[in-house]
Amino acid sequence: MREAVYPVVPGGERTLRALVKELMANDRVVAERIRYQLRGSYSHYYRRMLGPLLGALTFRCNNTSYRPVMDAVELLGAYADRPSKVTVYDQGEKVPIDGVVPKA
């Protein structure tokens, strides 16, 4: 890299280090990168384990502010034994979104 890239960039290594520092300082870029990595991990690996895990565990919470999350966990647990090809919920099912899924 020092032999191929640094000579081509005006300011060389110092400019590239400044660009990296600026990129990492931008909260939005960092948040998007983390979200991208988490989404990839979930969709390629953790998603397969979620159904059996939710089917095997029982979650309890008395805090009413977490009720939407608990409703979502219960719904996912109810669909845990369905084939993995099922991607939609029954028409009458109430799917909790507010307080569960972030706007991002």
In angstroms, rounded to a whole number, what is the distance separating the alpha carbons of residues 46 and 26? 28
Amino acid identity, position 5: V
> Structural domain boundaries of the chain?
1-46, 58-104
pLDDT digits (tens, 9 = 90+) for 41-59: 887 777 778 878 887 888 8
Chain segment 63-100, per-residue pLDDT in tens: 999 999 999 998 888 888 777 666 788 889 998 888 88
Residues 6+ apart with CB under 8 A from 2: 13
Cα first-last separation, the chain: 36
pTM: 0.57
What does 36-88 look like in DSSP terms, one character per residue?
A: HHHHHHIIIIIHHHHHHHHHH-------GGGHHHHHHHHHHHHTTTS-TT--S
